[in-house]
Structure 1
Amino acid sequence: MADAESWYGLDPHRLAWLIRHYTRAGDVVLDLDAHPTVARAARYLRRHPAALVTDGDTSRIRLTGIRARPARIRSLTDGGVSLLLAGLPRPGGDRLGLRALTDVMEQWRRLLCPGGFVLTVLPARTPEPGRISRRSAVITAARVAGLRYHQHLPVLLVPLPEIESRTDPATAASTRPALLHGRHAPIHLDVLAFGTTSTDQEAADA
């Protein structure tokens, strides 16, 4: 189970690496979950953490922990955010249906500045028979919403063993499967990056 310091299973060091990789000093980093670890990492890297404030049918970007004149704050937020962080599925949302995902991705795209990125995190899960994988559904929805698929980053949650006895022909038959409640224990999660623009060739596994 992830501790309170981690963001969807990502420890502060790996989270800070992602923020540094996708932004520059002075950029605005919007975390839809308002996680304190994201805010601390952004401030440490001299970025501006932000939250999304919803009032009825309208939403606005609010910088957190900053003391500046209103004109300065508007100059930072009016052009959009450089990085938007969000876990999927969203709290209270459906099970990653394509239509709902597309609507959400469209809303996120409008919050980005030119050249900005969306980073989504979703726990890895074996596709159900007859259904496309959740990762493929997220990628498809992002493309329909006008975002470009940039990168897939599988993130390990536990150290991998140096020797896996189930792959050894001499011991595989006698090795008990590592199951948790009848399922394999999750050892990684998927981080998917989408951009407003991209010059990279789209990944072949999309």
Structure 2
Amino acid sequence: MRIQLLKETKKPKYAVNPNKYLEDGEGSAEGEDDEEEDVPEDLADLEPEEQQKRIKTRAAYQMALGTLLVLVFSDPMVDLLAELGKRLDVSAFYISFVLAPLASNASELVAAYNYAKKRTCKSITTSLSTLEGAAIMNNTFCLGIFLGLVYFQNLAWEFSAETISILLIEVLMALSILFRRVHRLLDAFFILSLYPLCLATVYVLENSVGWD
């Protein structure tokens, strides 16, 4: 009996619950059920097959409308950023580097935030997947379009400083992901600091090193 009591007293004083900040127990199960049945209220009474049909139709309509809005407002937006930089006597690159991502990626940010508010493993995974998808899209598809324009329009290459700074930030981000399995709040501040670091790198390369 004494040996058994000694073994029981060797348990750690504080137990760490990996799901501390997520809904657990019945709340977690209810949250997962809510996510699985998360459909618009006006479609909740329809059959599952009809729901999927209506949802796909509505998604296609909204994507087409969004594409049309981008085509209409993208060119005036470029002129606006260039004029803003001219009036502030600041390079248009710095203006667009700060303001353009906020406008173009606001939808991903809002969607990721709404998913994260549910505080379940599934919603957090979906939130991170949304942000990763947006990052991959910007670094592959959008970059390919830019390089294609430079090549087919015979544009002069004057983006060495910007390219090097972006590659540097991507390498630092990749190293952070590869060598850390658990990311905490401090890591979030480090990732946020990469944004102004990219701007500072461009400024140093252009004004001190003399690159394009």
TM-score, structure 2 as length reference: 0.22
Larger helix percent: 2
| Bigger RCO (CA 8 Å, 6+ sep) | 1
Larger strand percent: 1
Give the greater-gyration-radius structure (CA): 2
TM-score, structure 1 as length reference: 0.22
